[in-house]
Amino acid sequence: MMGGLIKRSFDLLAAGAGLLVLAPLLLAVALWVKLDSKGPVLFRQVRIGRHGVPFDIYKFRTMADRPDGGRQLTVGQDPRVTRAGRFLRHYKLDELPQLLNVLEGSMSLVGPRPEVPRYVECYPPAVRKAVLSVRPGVTDLAAILYRDESAILGQAQDPERAYVDTILPVKLEYYQRYVRERSFWLDLRIIFRTLAAILR
């Protein structure tokens, strides 16, 4: 098990350094998002965090319009995704603002990806207790496996049902595995595997 203090210290150092090093890129992306379509630069959405506490996750906005109560899955060639958004999603650059979530303590660099409330309700009680016992992460093994999740869902007749019945159970297996086996070295391996997947 990774000590909580070690993990939190690493998160703070890595997220802080990442924001400093990536500051020019973050500013360029923010400008591109603003010029490409109307709307705010950042997108916020309520996710469920550690111990079931809701929090706002930060992303660069990749959709032209996403009203409250709309579909929460991005499926295939979703017409709501902007030109800039397609590029940002492909290279996962839209996730970079989550470094702010790491600094504020609502997320960790590595951990189970946080879900919206409606999908957390699908977790079996014992699984929910285990998965929500740790901070959610910017990346994890399931995120690498389902890097092209929207394309997979785009091939399903009922994307919502495919997600709940097929993809989510696999994700939960990976989340539980991480909770059981988490360590500093496992976090490092997942971070490097994430970077390698993006570069490929």
Question: What is the rounded distance in angstroms from the CA atom of residue 169 to the CA atom of residue 164?
Answer: 7
Question: What is the rounded distance in angstroms from the CA atom of residue 24 to the CA atom of residue 36?
Answer: 18
**Residue 71: predicted pLDDT:** 60
Q: How confident is the model at residue 65 (pLDDT cuts 50, 70, 90)?
A: low
Q: How confident is the model at residue 155 (pLDDT cuts 50, 70, 90)?
A: confident
This prediction's pTM: 0.90
Question: What is the rounded distance in angstroms from the CA atom of residue 51 to the CA atom of residue 37?
Answer: 37
Answer whether residue 68 shows pLDDT above 70. no
Answer whether residue 118 shows pLDDT above 60. yes
- Tell me how many degrees the CA angle 48-116-147 measures, rounded to the nearest 5: 110
How is the chain split into domains, by residue range? 4-199
**From the CB of residue 21, how many other CB atoms can be counted at a distance below 10 Å?**
10
Mean model confidence pLDDT for the chain: 91
Torsion sign over Cα 32, 114, 158, 174? positive
Q: Which residues contact 66 (CB under 8 A, 6 or more apart)?
A: 43, 80
Question: What is the rounded distance in angstroms from the CA atom of residue 181 to the CA atom of residue 169?
Answer: 18
Question: What is the rounded distance in angstroms from the CA atom of residue 126 to the CA atom of residue 106?
Answer: 22
Q: How confident is the model at residue 159 (pLDDT cuts 50, 70, 90)?
A: confident
Which class for 19: exposed (0-12), middle (13-18), buried (19 or more C-beta within 10 A)?
middle
Q: Are 49 and 33 in contact (CB under 8 A)?
A: no
Q: Are 65 and 26 in contact (CB under 8 A)?
A: no
Q: What are phi and psi of 55, to 5 degrees?
A: -150, 165
Q: Are 87 and 25 in contact (CB under 8 A)?
A: no
Separation in Å, CA 92 to CA 85, 96, 109? 10, 8, 14
